[in-house]
A and B are shown apart, each in its own frame.
Chain A
């Protein structure tokens, strides 16, 4: 129904070409020239004066201040430089401390358990200068995990430490077992497991 109506309407419009021709014969009056000038002047007056119109065609109008771009660039450069310094220069200046810390962090729990019961008894006699230092022997062989030095110029980050004689103080196994059982009773299972593992390393034959 609607399609038929549209067709009929289109036919009517075609027949109306005589009406359109008559309408065209009425002439084509134009607005007064002074009105054209007024409108054109107003259209130009509202545009921002400093912009290069041809260059900015199609670009969105920016509301940022003129100093924004250089400021952003300078801030980016500064941040990048600071980040690079933090990564590359700082570990070298601090010597081997950072790798040692890292190695401490990756040390296994068993190692820590052994250390817990290994007192640096001879440290005071051999390393007087290091008495107050909490430093203990590296848990894994000292090697740098990353290097900023050029190839072939490798130098040790930390001074090689003399081996520290360690006197292992063995804890009473029964007392230790009782402690582990107490931990289990208290529900501190993780600690109990760690203690038990350390116990078996110190007393592998204990049943």
Chain B
């Protein structure tokens, strides 16, 4: 029988933690967890430090995950509000990044559910807004250099990835967490997370190879 524990946060859902991993995490308390505990004790400056460390990776994860600047901004704010609201329940049983991105994952999942329930017309409208707010670099007429084209192709390839693969890749790149921790955030098995990351990297590498070939043919 496999033992498991869970941290439960209101509005956040269950947060599975294996005992062995919990013990390991407790032994090596990361600096972020210390900052969170200091904020929990009433030190506002600790929150500022914590926010400064994670705001960039979290914002980019959300932005490239939901592909909308406006939505990413809303979700970003929602994630931090939940962190603040649940500060007294926080216990450093895992890395703070795991805790933070678990909340972000749940917010993004809620967003995708809402999108599925939205009428098609509204969705199309939403995608127009996405394009306007987060226009790919390659669409700008003043950027026609090869470097920019290659970057644009990579960006397009990233957005063409299935949502789960893209999320796993973004978590891998932005948080530096290992596959097991990513699996916990996304609430899937380690093998599933590994498979998603492998597929994502394979497709992105293929897009880079194609770009290189095109450049070679042009020359």
A-side interface mostly: loop
In the complex, the answer to whether A12 meets B201 with C-beta atoms within 8 Å is yes
CA A56 to CA B38, docked complex, whole Å: 9
Interface segment among B9-17, B41-49, B108-116: the answer is B41-49
The listed residue (B56, B88, B198) touching A30 by CB distance below 8 A is B56
Chain A interface residue count, CB cutoff 8 Å, equals 37
Answer whether residue A65 sits at the interface, using C-beta atoms and an 8 A cutoff.
no
The listed residue (B51, B63, B158) touching A29 by CB distance below 8 A is B63
- Interface 1/0s, chain A 37-56, versus B by CB < 8 A? 01110111011100101101
CA A51 to CA B41, docked complex, whole Å: 9
Chain B neighbourhood of A32, CB < 8 A: 73
Chain B neighbourhood of A19, CB < 8 A: 201, 204-205, 208
Q: How far is the CB of A11 from chain B (nearest CB, A)?
A: 11
The listed residue (A12, A18, A40, A58) touching B38 by CB distance below 8 A is A58
- The total of interchain contacts (Cβ-Cβ below 8 angstroms) comes to 99
Q: In which size bucket is the chain B interface?
A: 35 or more
Chain B neighbourhood of A54, CB < 8 A: 43
CA A46 to CA B198, docked complex, whole Å: 42
CA A43 to CA B47, docked complex, whole Å: 7
Question: Can you show 20 pairs from A to B with CB atoms below 8 A apart?
Answer: A9-B198, A12-B198, A16-B201, A22-B150, A23-B204, A26-B154, A28-B56, A29-B59, A29-B63, A32-B73, A35-B73, A36-B55, A42-B80, A46-B85, A48-B42, A51-B42, A54-B43, A57-B38, A58-B37, A61-B41
